[in-house]
Amino acid sequence: MARFYITTPIYYVNDVPHIGHAYTTITADALARWHRLIGDEVFFLTGTDEHGLKVQRAAEAAGLTPLEHADLTSARFREAWRLLDISNDDFIRTTEERHTTSVQALMQAAYDNGWIEKGAYEGWYCVSCEAYYGEGDLLDDHRCPIHKRPVEWFKEDNYFFKLSAFEQPLLEWFESHPGMIHPTSRRNEAIGLVRQGLEDISISRSSITWGVPVPWDPKHVFYVWYDALINYATAVGYGSDRDRFDAWWPVVHHMMGKDILRFHAVYWPALLMAAGETPPAHEYIHGFLLVAGEKMSKTAFNQIAPKDLVPEFGVDGYRYHFLRDQPFGPDGEFSYEGMVARYNADLANNLGNLLSRVATVVAKQCHGVGPAPSPASKLAAIAEAVVADATAAWARVAPNEALEATWRLVRETNAALEAAQPWKMEPGPALDAVMGDALEVLRIVAVLSSPALTRASEEIWRRIGMAESVGPLDAQRLPDAAVWGGYPGAVRVDKGEALFPRLKASRA
């Protein structure tokens, strides 16, 4: 059995969950579900990043301790992921004891290996970014290029990580691991960042207290970004359970947006090398999800939350839209009208309609009992091709293509029903053959769509009688579960209500 370890970034606890966070998380979730379906042992990690000056100041402003503040804000992410049926196996918070242990162990190893040393640091610091900026990176009047607010001049003793020593090791690593960073354009970007030259980086702060203490000099805490990256190692036992860590590392799949490429593709592999560990095997980088052409931000007031959309579209409609309409890699544009159109076309008109037609004919003309499929069905060959295409698409992190392939089978089956007109046929072997094939397609589609449609797939499975006759959907494993002929026949089909009632575009 293969192991599949997948992570989202840990989200900054001061943020409010929006559709951009949810995009990364749903994509990781769908991949985790797909890998469970193909029989892999999966560990799916998400969590929250809770240290740093910004959290300390927000807590002070709210009259809370930083941890009290983080308890409240971290809960918003757990709620959002519950709302979206996210199947994470763990939720890490960087304020947990296990994380302190892991960060201190990894940094101590890098320190003992001679890659960390003390120095003085001063520079322009954006509290919102938790980052220093060079003079040339700032906007006019010393404003942060991201937040467009004034930066502050900080001066402090810091520990420095000798990143400059890792230029050549990183370039060699990228060269010998061409599949590490996906897509290729982002791999090239990472190589370009290293080729430009790397400077040593400050990894500790003595001016703030809200962080993981530096074990050999506890007046310092680690800078929030380096503490945060180590969460991926903490969650699989780094610093506490070496056997567990070795079981899951380094074959990890980090999923993230392009804005944090530098941290993940340059700093993180170098830090791991410094500690004597292996860099992560896979990093999947996607673009921004834009709203009216702009990146979502608090200051632009263009943030859309999952909870703004789920009541109208349902969990399935929400997940399906983002997986189907936002190809993984380039920037995408959120459009409410596009979401309605996709829901109506694929879910209401295609899948929902197929289920309702089949269930109606079976109820009226087959006494409510679903017949078995015919081995020689023309749909069998289409199903076989679709399963192969969907499998290949998930493997290359293209959920949109996997779903597109799956819906080809739905459309072909609707077309076959329109050609055969079973609603006009007399009961008998000819009608049974048509209906058995359509039920078999619904069975296969329930399996293939289950990483996206967490609820509708279960409901289709139940209505066509599979749950009762064969067992739960989540016990199915590919490839066996998609081999033509798995629908047993002679099982009760439940007609039910419309699975995906049509939507009207209700908002401008």
Which chain residues interact with Zn ion by CB under 5 A? 126, 128-129, 144, 146-147
Closest CA to 482 of 397, 382, 346, 372: 382
Q: Residue 143 Cβ, how far from Zn ion at the closest point, in Å?
A: 9
The tokens for 184 are 């290729």
Q: Residue 204 Cβ, how far from Zn ion at the closest point, in Å?
A: 20
Q: Is 366 a catalytic residue?
A: no
Q: Is 69 a catalytic residue?
A: no
Q: Residue 195 and residue 433: Cα distance in Å, rounded?
A: 63
3-state per-residue secondary structure call for 439-450: HHHHHHHHHHHC
From the candidates 51, 144, 282, 366, which is the catalytic residue? 144
Q: Residue 128 Cβ, how far from Zn ion at the closest point, in Å?
A: 4
From the candidates 142, 177, 258, 295, which is the catalytic residue? 295
Nearer to Zn ion, 38 or 58 (CB): 58
The tokens for 464 are 């066509």
Helix, strand, or coil (residue 455): coil
Cβ neighbours for 245, distance < 8 A, ≥ 6 positions apart: 233, 236, 237, 238
Q: Is 282 a catalytic residue?
A: no
Helix, strand, or coil (residue 201): strand
Q: Residue 137 Cβ, how far from Zn ion at the closest point, in Å?
A: 10
Q: Is 286 a catalytic residue?
A: no
Q: Name the one residue in this structure whose structure tokens are 């199947």.
A: 87
Q: Residue 136 and residue 133: Cα distance in Å, rounded?
A: 8
From the candidates 147, 162, 258, 307, which is the catalytic residue? 147
From the candidates 51, 69, 99, 126, which is the catalytic residue? 126
Helix, strand, or coil (residue 66): helix
Query: Is 196 exposed, middle or buried, given 0-12, 13-18 or 19+ CB atoms closer than 10 A?
Result: exposed
Q: Residue 7 Cβ, how far from Zn ion at the closest point, in Å?
A: 24
The tokens for 287 are 């673009």
Cis peptide before 269 (omega within 30 of 0): no
Q: Is 129 a catalytic residue?
A: yes
Q: Is 21 a catalytic residue?
A: yes
Most distant CA pair in the chain, distance: 87
From the candidates 298, 364, 367, 378, which is the catalytic residue? 298
Q: Residue 144 Cβ, how far from Zn ion at the closest point, in Å?
A: 3
Helix (H), strand (E) at residue 502: none
Nearer to Zn ion, 111 or 133 (CB): 133
Nearer to Zn ion, 20 or 329 (CB): 20
**Beta carbons of 24 and 326 less than 8 angstroms apart:** no
Q: Is 142 a catalytic residue?
A: no
Q: Residue 10 Cβ, how far from Zn ion at the closest point, in Å?
A: 19
Q: Is 126 a catalytic residue?
A: yes
Nearer to Zn ion, 46 or 303 (CB): 303
Nearer to Zn ion, 126 or 203 (CB): 126
Nearer to Zn ion, 209 or 299 (CB): 299
Nearer to Zn ion, 126 or 355 (CB): 126
Cβ neighbours for 443, distance < 8 A, ≥ 6 positions apart: 461, 464, 466, 486, 487
Cis peptide before 218 (omega within 30 of 0): no
By annotation, the residues acting in catalysis are 18, 21, 126, 129, 144, 147, 295, 298
